[in-house]
Amino acid sequence: MSTIPQINLCVMQPSGQVHALGLLDAALYFRWMFHRLGAMVHLSKNRLRHNAVNFVFGAHLGFDPALRRTHSCVFVNLEQIGESGAQLRQEYLQLLQGSAVVDYDTRNVATYAPCTEDVPLISFGHAAYLQLSGGQALPLAERPIDLLFIGSMNERRRRLIERIEATGRSVTMFDGPLYGPERDAYVAQAKAMLNCHFYESARFEQVRAFQSLSLGTPIVSERCLGTRPDAAFDRSVEWFDSEGLEAFFGREFGSAAYFERAQAQVDAFRAADPVEAYADLLAFSAGLDSVHRSRRGTERNVVRRLHLGSGKDYRMGWLNIDVLESAKPDAVLDLCRPLMLPQDIDSPQAGPVRLAAGEVEIVYANNVLEHVSDLPGLMTRCLELLKVGGVFQIEVPYERAPTAWQDPTHVRALNENSWIYYTDWFWYLGWFEHRFALRAFDYLDAGLQPSRRESAAFMRVSLEKVPTTLHERMAARTMRADFGPGLPGEDVPRPREVVAAVLA
């Protein structure tokens, strides 16, 4: 194998999308497998890394394909694609068709790849890191939860669960989304995890199954014609079909014979270890990384889109800056302080970039301006960075709304007149050649939808960098404490400088 590349496991999570946390189970399994094979592995949310192979989980939730030019990407497809499967956006299918992909089912691959052998296939086995710490799990027969069902509900699943409960069995479900160790604590208390197919395509839900079995909880799963599990799951899952549902849950489930068989199935799954497939995948990623590096230019990319902020609002494809390292920005930078331009930045996420005056096309600040220590300084730096015609997009709490002071780190409140100094009275800030022009202004309600002033929680403002007119420059020279820049003779050497030059 060639040199093992760094690996970044990037989980896509649109803001507020809690169900994206379900992708963590697969990502953590990938991390464990790659660690075992000697790779350096990073786990990130919405953040690609420039000098790593990025395995992207959840690209169906949104991904800019242009990022493939600057970052080496492999897309992990965990969706059921094809007839009777998930209804996915055409943009996602096009992304798979033109990218490196890893999949878990060859029937998915046939829908986006002309040759199925070009797409690496993986499966999920026993995850030793999920074994309970601090003691042994309860014996199956003593666990308080009869059957635990986790997943989105649709009519197909509802009908099956109603039939199961009609046999006298209790099916426990959460009243809201629950993932990670908080969910796993309940899985470990169940006699069995119930698996019902969401789609008629009936592809086996490997991620749900490996997680439960690795935690020591059996899987009881529906089996249809389209359910084709690999050997490890075939022997480690208790299967039922529609015809035998009542007989199994009414008479067999919960019996001594069932518990003995279920424990044997859990024990058998400990031998499931598809490490060879992940070794092949690591070799595949090394080749991909080598090709990508050879095609990638060595010049620094000039920043065109600048995001003031990071954290949960991180924007892929932008340079995300923040004053806090804990927000995981592309660069720790404070625009309230003087800035030497151009500034070269080597970012683990964005790579080598250059922040230069007059080159940025758009600056975006969402709930930032009410926090900063020196707002005029920040506005000055943004004006300098933007190109003429570039736009500064701003969202801030509205002064008259409770949102204005709800955050203990707020240092100011803003209203309709807060922009006048940057548009009309720009000379007070020392600006002369350029200023901002107000291009759009909207009141937003708490849901960030356009609203009337009396119900506004936020304001959305769009400021464009424009050259000052001759009339505006005359007004600036009149209103400033001095006469302004560019006066004739400013660069003429003083007498002592002339003498020094002659003597030299």
pLDDT at 15 over 90: no
At residue 170 the predicted structure's pLDDT band, cuts being 50, 70 and 90, is: very high
pLDDT in tens, 365-405: 999 999 999 999 999 999 999 999 999 999 999 998 988 98
CATH number corresponding to 301-479 = 3.40.50.150
Whole-number mean pLDDT of the chain? 93
Count of beta carbons in the 10 Å neighbourhood of residue 359 = 17
pLDDT in tens, 323-359: 999 999 999 999 999 999 999 999 999 999 999 999 9
pLDDT attached to residue 45: 96
**Structure-token match 């400088």, residue found:** 497
Check residue 140 and report its DSSP letter: G
pLDDT attached to residue 178: 94
**Is 301-479 the same fold as 7-122+274-295?**
yes
At residue 202 the predicted structure's pLDDT band, cuts being 50, 70 and 90, is: confident
Section 257-285 average pLDDT: 96
* DSSP string of 30-72, one letter each residue: HHHHHHHTT--EEEEES---TTSEEEEE-GGG---GGGGGTSE
Q: What percent of the chain has pLDDT over 90?
A: 85
pLDDT attached to residue 497: 61
Count of beta carbons in the 10 Å neighbourhood of residue 114 = 8
pLDDT in tens, 109-130: 989 998 888 899 999 999 999 9
CATH number corresponding to 7-122+274-295 = 3.40.50
The pTM of the full predicted model, rounded to 2 decimals, is 0.91
pLDDT attached to residue 330: 97
Residue ranges covered by each domain of the chain:
7-122+274-295, 128-269, 301-479
pLDDT in tens, 36-77: 999 999 999 999 999 999 999 999 999 999 999 999 999 999
Among 210, 206, 186, 208, which Cα is nearest to 137's? 186
Cα four-point dihedral sign 371, 372, 374, 377: negative
- From residue 52, alpha-carbon distances to 156, 258, 283, 349, 398 in Å are 41, 47, 14, 9, 42
pLDDT at 316 over 60: yes
pLDDT at 1 over 50: no
Section 122-149 average pLDDT: 88
**Per CATH, is 128-269 categorized as 3.60.70.12?**
no
pLDDT at 135 over 80: no
- Alpha helices of 392-494 — where are they, by DSSP H? 420-423, 470-479
46-60, 128-142, 150-164, 457-471, range with the lowest pLDDT: 128-142
Section 165-186 average pLDDT: 94
pLDDT attached to residue 491: 72
pLDDT at 30 over 90: yes
pLDDT attached to residue 86: 86
pLDDT in tens, 214-268: 999 999 999 998 899 999 999 999 999 999 999 999 999 999 999 999 999 999 9
